[in-house]
Structure 1
């Protein structure tokens, strides 16, 4: 699968609306009691509203007609009391519903975040981080109004519509029929709009995601942009993406704006028909003036829930794309998982074996071909060779960040596919080529290798890699805060901290991917002593372009074009006078010329 570029629309697998609604509604189940209370409060408010026109009809046709002042006072008191209770119930309903909605959004966001963390490297390889962030933040936030309205609008307004319709037909079926005669045309119009609006809102979500991805990538690479003076170019690209998002939003809103005029037009036509029919019925003496006045109030109560339901339907269309994008990610199964019959990895001794291992990323050509080797516990193995030869791929397969395309990998005679991932990776110390530090103190960054480590253990790890001295020279020592990715530190300092983090984990298998590539020669000599102590007694894999750092390794494997072309210790490979010899002599001559 090709990587989705920041300016390229994502390909979405649209699921049925019925399935998406089922997935959304399941989040309401833990709050059934609270939802029931909200519905009761809504019904109470609705009943208070239904009683108002009836009491008004009674006041006009009976109390005023009979000049009964006491009766009017009683009705006025009852109306005030009921509406006061209705106001309190309505406020309580809003508070409870807000709590439910916020908790549901928190649950969805946590589930989405936790699920994404379990996804395989291939998922992240194919998507810009900004597009993933857009789903975790923007798309989840878009569901707030949807959940809130599903309880506060859809359920009560549907009940209200049913009750009002029953009351209207009980009062006069002719007036009731004249009120609803326009509804079929309205529903056909709304469904027609929905058919096109959903696609437009999905397109808007994609454009918004593109903008989010570009902004994230732009700020992450701001140093490169400023170094090459590309601010103007990136600003133009940003403006172009903003315009794409705005245009897609305007296109969606223009279509959605037809909802309200259609509902209001239908309301107006329905009211005209009711007045016209009602006037004829009064002339014939079939109904009283009070009945018509009460009926006109019920007409308002009939169309108000229709407008609210139409607004909910509009909200549903607007935010359905966000729900589909969320559940699309949650439906992706992690490619690398612990099998149902997976066993817990015992304490690793360090025996590693590759049997006929071939690996390719997605549908690309194989990166490594038919790799075979056996490593004894405690041996240190160096992987050398040109860039892109497959060295990093080999160590990624040991940690099972990817699964082999062909062949098997065994650790202590256990196939890595048959053991629990956590029990495997928790016993490995990995220092990747891309050094990453969190926005926290140096102490917390080192402690990430062992969360319950004491301060003394942290300092000991830093001393082992010669990081202690430069750390103590910083303003707050180990409590010095580093910026995102450790930008306030030099590249070499970041690597040393990352190296200390790996040491602190006390791994059974240690993987160093270009661990000393950005350390100066003087620091490298200091670190080498710590590395040798660390490698003693544990299996280790070291990827290095500086051949001087791996001369003492037990085995050196030369990787070229995805294959092991040479294997032996330093002296053996020098005597062989093959590719390793050529690399060593080339580096030696380069350093000699530089000197």
Structure 2
């Protein structure tokens, strides 16, 4: 920045340096305006850069930088991922289950083989068994088909069971990955995130992904095998009819070509609106006391009605585009079948094709067109799943703002003081909550922060707990910056009573024990007596074992 604003003679810089400076300047121009930026450029002094920030924008440079970095993060996610990207991600999640997937593939091979052999059996049945009155061949074909049917049914049943296990395993893995990631994220994320939206990403979005990742992919393998082998069989049976059918077959993919991307985007918007409705519902149910005290029922209903209407519009659009996608495939398949049947009937009447061969050809053509239409539908499901995958990726792309330094060490028990030294902090990067704050809290003293709402009392405590880091200055314990110690050791030294009481869905005893998992029952009761709630607890139906 100094090189640019003061035209300083400096050593050559790499191209990325100027890209970064351009990005920061563009952010200042877009958010603060050209007039303020001119003041900033005129007042800028490399020795005291915050003076220019305060003069032009009323904010130090550290706060401006925080806002700029936040805008970059918001723009990191690119376009909606395609099916190819979804398949690559799916392979990552399915890799631990490769043995089960191999057994599922064996079952798919049995089922596909039976599907392709059936039309040839019908050809023999008609041309030799029925036409020539060969009862022995007729009996053999029926018995053979029955045995093959039993084998492929057992293989299919086993495949469905394994697929259910893989589906449950994948869903569990993704849930655990997301939940583990949520535990890493900092309080800054939770102060802005909507609970209902997070719940939707861990529930409905995951079901869409899981359905596409397991059932759709297995079905896709089956359809590809059937289409490939049946196409070869068509040419072996009657190459002229096969050539006609193959020339028309690409028409099946016109639907996905024109409507696929729109279907994916419509699905994403539907899931976004569903998450918004869930968030509003969760917020309203959690604030019923406030709603009733201030008579907010009508306002809440109006807000909910508006969001439900938006969800309805998104659902209509997603459903209609999905219907167009499916209808295009169905109409194309019907057209190809009718055309092939008409040409084949003339060939039978002309004596160049047997009736059994035509029946077998129509059966094999169904094995090609039906699965290709099925592939078109699967493409639709995969397109819809990309919306869910995008929302999951958005959550996984969130990085914790507060992390332990690579060389962080455990914090020893404080012996002297907690100090804030020139601390400046902003939650949003736009409004400064604390500016150049300094204070000292000696060990053994009781200190109270008093002031109006919004003056920074809770913010100071959040900084001491290292829920956030200051954008300038430092918080130290006995002279050691808390950013150089582990978060766990820091918080182990602090006894915290939060403003809002929260009880987990477990017993009273386990709720008290949360802060010290190794505490004995006697320790738990001693703590309850100290807090003067022991008598209340023992009066509950199951005492300390009462679920809350």
Structure 2 CA distance for aligned equivalents of residues 64 and 439 of structure 1: 71
Instruction: For 1:356-395, list aligned pairs within 5 A.
Output: 356-395=422-461
**SS at the partner of 1:383?**
coil
Q: Which residue of 2 aligns with 1:397?
A: 463
Q: Is 1:119 aligned to 2:185, yes or no? A: yes
Within 1, Cα distance between the matches of 2:361 and 2:417? 86
Give the structure with the larger helix fraction. Answer: 2
Aligned CA RMSD, in angstroms, stands at 2.4
- Cα distance 1:281–1:225, how it changes in 2: closer, same or farther (>3 A)? same
1:450–1:168 CA distance, 2 compared to 1 (3 A): same
> Contact (CA 8 Å) 1:180, 1:270: kept in 2 or not?
no
Quote the residue 1:251 is aligned against: 317
Number of the residue aligned with 2:48: none
Structure 1 match to 2:93:
27
Pick the aligned partner of 1:432 from 478, 481, 498.
Answer: 498
- State the match for 1:591 in structure 2: none
Partners of 2:247 and 2:127 lie apart in 1 by 28
Which residue, out of 197, 210, 215, partners 2:281? 215
Report the Cα offset of residue 430 of structure 1.
Answer: 1.3
- Output the CA distance in 2 between the equivalents of 1:61 and 1:49: 20
Preserved CA contact (<8 Å) 2:129 2:135:
yes
What is the deviation of 1:475? 4.7
How far is 1:258 from its partner? 1.5
Answer yes or no: is 1:179 the counterpart of 2:245. yes
Q: Which of the residues 340, 357, 364 maps onto 1:298?
A: 364
Q: Which residue of 1 aligns with 2:328?
A: 262
Structure 1 counterpart of 2:341, from 270, 275, 278: 275
Q: What's 1:237 paired with?
A: 303
**Corresponding position of 2:136:** 70
CA shift in 2, pair 1:151/1:195, >3 Å: closer
The alpha-carbon deviation at position 114 of structure 1 amounts to 1.6
Task: Give the whole-Å Cα distance in 2 for the aligned partners of 1:296 and 1:20.
Answer: 35
State the SS of the aligned residue for 2:496: strand
Deviation at 1:150, TM superposition (A): 3.2
CA drift at 1:12: 7.6
Q: Is the 8 A contact 2:410 2:486 kept in 1?
A: yes
> CA offset at residue 221 of structure 1?
0.5
**Does the 8 Å contact 2:252/2:329 carry over to 1?**
yes
The answer to whether the 8 A contact 1:344-1:423 is kept is yes
- The CA distance in 1 between the partners of 2:547 and 2:150, in whole Å, is 56
Shift in Å, 1:187: 1.6
For residues 406 and 258 of structure 2, the distance between their equivalents in structure 1, rounded to whole angstroms, comes to: 47
Query: Is the Cα contact below 8 Å between 2:263 and 2:318 reproduced in 1?
Result: yes
Q: Does 2:166 align with 1:104?
A: no
- For structure 1, the 5+ residue unaligned runs are 3-9, 483-595
> Using the alignment, how far apart are the partners of 1:402 and 1:275 within structure 2?
72
Q: Secondary structure of 2:282's partner?
A: helix
| Higher RCO, Cα 8 Å, sep 6+ | 2
Structure 1 residue 283 displacement after superposition: 4.4
Give the whole-Å Cα distance in 1 for the aligned partners of 2:78 and 2:296.
36
Residue of structure 1 equivalent to 2:513: 447
Distance 1:292 1:475, change over 3 A: closer
Tell me whether 1:323 sits opposite 2:420 in the alignment: no
- C-alpha distance in 1, partners of 2:361/2:232? 12
1:6 — aligned with what?
none
CA contact (8 A) 1:154 1:312 kept: yes
- 1:125 deviation in Å? 1.3
In the alignment, structure 1 residue 188 sits paired with structure 2 residue 254? yes
Number of equivalenced pairs? 475
What's the counterpart of residue 457 of structure 1? 523
TM-score, normalised on structure 2?
Answer: 0.81
Paired with 1:103 and 1:308, the residues of 2 have a C-alpha distance of 26
CA distance in 1 between counterparts of 2:473 and 2:86 reads 40
> Relative to structure 2, which stretch is displaced further, 45-54 or 437-446?
437-446
2-side partners of 1:231 and 1:192: how far apart?
45
CA contact (8 A) 1:354 1:371 kept: yes
Q: Higher strand share goes to which structure? A: 1
Structure 1 CA distance, aligned partners of 2:503 and 2:273?
31
Deviates more, 1:230-239 or 1:163-172: 230-239
**Which one of the candidate residues 75, 81, 84 is aligned to 1:16?**
81
Q: CA deviation at 1:473?
A: 4.5
Over 3 Å counting, the alpha-carbon distance change for 1:231 and 1:176 in structure 2 is: same
Q: CA deviation at 1:432?
A: 1.6
Indicate the residue corresponding to 2:148 in structure 1: 82
Q: Alpha carbons of 1:236 and 1:356: their partners in 2 closer, same or farther (altered >3 Å)?
A: closer
Q: Which residue of 2 aligns with 1:47?
A: 113
Secondary structure of the structure 1 residue equivalent to 2:447 = strand
Contact 1:20/1:324 (<8 A) preserved: no
- Once the two structures are overlaid, the 10-residue window that deviates more, 220-229 or 374-383, is 374-383
Output aligned runs, 1:527-566, within 5 Å. none
Instruction: Please show how residues 198-209 of structure 1 align to structure 2 within 5 Å.
Output: 198-209=264-275
C-alpha deviation, 1:472, in angstroms = 4.1
Q: How many Å separate the matches in 2 of 1:372 and 1:221?
A: 37
Tell me how far apart the structure 1 counterparts of residues 277 and 188 of structure 2 sit (CA, whole Å): 23
Counterpart in the other structure of 2:484:
418
Structure 2 residues not aligned, in runs of 5+: 1-65, 68-74
Give yes or no for contact 1:41–1:89 (8 Å, CA) kept in 2: yes
Secondary structure of 1:143's counterpart equals helix
Counterpart CA distance in 1 for 2:220 and 2:406 is: 42
> Secondary structure, in 3 states, of the residue corresponding to 2:203?
helix
Cα deviations by residue, 1:276-332 (Å, 9 ceiling, x for unpaired): 322343345433222111101111111221122122112112232111101110111
